[in-house]
């Protein structure tokens, strides 16, 4: 009994001697160096709780997919092929990344479609829009070089160096370059978002969706579009200014004025 009382007095003196700041805080390891307790989420234990969790999960999925569904249903038959798209004065070609300073495979396919549009007389001027936010990365000039190398005259190509995303490209095409009617060129999984955003910017457009093999890159692009659809819905509603608006440019008007033959009309 005396031995037990002596041990208790020793523990009491140690506790009194320990500074206040040395007290173990929340989440600290328990005495003896044992493992910390971790928070582990628990599934609802009752049937009613599980049903409620499932309903919440379904609701979240539906809300997440609503913008993508809106884009899919709202294109109104404006996605066409190169052969059947109506003729318009301008084709807007969206950037899709560079590899070692040259167009990526996806961007090259967009540019190939633009070349076919120009060769078929569907458009007179190509507006290439992409990212040139740093001196070592220049999408529009790489696109211009590719197009001239495939037979498009340089004076039929106009570059937008501040097309940092799809909304910026569409809004600048309208407000900076004065494009009212256009054919948009992009991959098939992106073209509906481009159509919706350009329509919100005030451009009457048709779209040519370039088909790609359904490989890992295609599925990654499709998954990205589900997420990007939410931002597109915000851009349509809010109509924010682009990252860089700048002054009105006459490049498209001058290129159209210099185009040979009568201007391309509505199909």
Q: Judge whether 89 and 182 are in contact, CB under 8 Å.
A: yes
d(CA 49, CA 51): 5
Mean pLDDT of 143-156: 97
Give me the CATH topology for the region 73-258: Rossmann fold (3.40.50)
**Per-residue pLDDT for 265 more than 50?**
no
Q: In this predicted model, what pLDDT tens digit does every residue of 73-125 receive, in sequence order?
A: 555 689 999 999 999 999 999 999 999 999 999 999 999 999 999 999 999 99
Determine the pLDDT at residue 219: 82
Q: In this predicted model, what pLDDT tens digit does every residue of 43-64 receive, in sequence order?
A: 677 877 667 766 666 555 545 5
Which residue is it, tokens 């599925």? Answer: 219
Domain residue spans of the chain: 73-258
C-alpha angle with apex 76: 185 to 107, nearest 5 degrees? Answer: 15
At residue 37 the predicted structure's pLDDT band, cuts being 50, 70 and 90, is low
Q: Which one has a higher pLDDT value, 4 or 172?
A: 172
At residue 233 the predicted structure's pLDDT band, cuts being 50, 70 and 90, is confident
d(CA 95, CA 247): 21
Which pTM was predicted?
0.72
Q: In this predicted model, what pLDDT tens digit does every residue of 159-177 receive, in sequence order?
A: 999 999 999 999 999 999 9
Q: Provide the token pair at 205.
A: 């457009």
Q: Judge whether 125 and 256 are in contact, CB under 8 Å.
A: yes
């Amino acid at each position: 009994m005396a031995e037990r009382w002596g041990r208790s007095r020793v523990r009491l003196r140690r506790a009194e001697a320990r500074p206040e700041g040395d007290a173990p805080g929340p989440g600290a390891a328990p005495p003896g160096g044992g493992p910390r307790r971790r928070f582990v989420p628990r599934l609802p234990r009752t049937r009613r709780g599980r049903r409620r969790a499932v309903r919440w999960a379904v609701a979240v999925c539906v809300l997440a997919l609503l913008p993508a569904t809106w884009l899919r249903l709202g294109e109104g038959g404006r996605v066409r092929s190169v052969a059947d798209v109506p003729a318009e004065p301008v084709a807007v070609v969206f950037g899709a990344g560079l590899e070692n300073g040259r167009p990526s495979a996806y961007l090259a396919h967009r540019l190939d479609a633009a070349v076919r549009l120009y060769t078929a007389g569907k458009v007179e001027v190509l507006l290439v829009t992409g990212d040139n936010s740093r001196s070592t990365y220049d999408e529009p000039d790489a696109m211009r070089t590719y197009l001239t190398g495939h037979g498009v005259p340089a004076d039929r190509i106009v570059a937008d160096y501040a097309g940092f995303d799809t909304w910026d490209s569409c809004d600048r095409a309208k407000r900076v370059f004065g494009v009212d009617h256009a054919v948009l060129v992009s991959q098939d999984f992106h073209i509906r978002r481009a159509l919706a955003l350009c329509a919100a910017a005030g451009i009457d457009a048709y779209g040519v969706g370039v088909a790609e093999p359904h490989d890992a890159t295609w599925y990654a692009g499709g998954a990205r579009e589900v997420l990007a659809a939410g931002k597109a819905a915000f851009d349509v509603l809010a109509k924010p200014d682009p990252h860089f608006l700048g002054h009105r440019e006459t490049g498209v008007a001058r290129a159209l004025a210099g185009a040979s033959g009568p201007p391309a009309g509505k199909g």
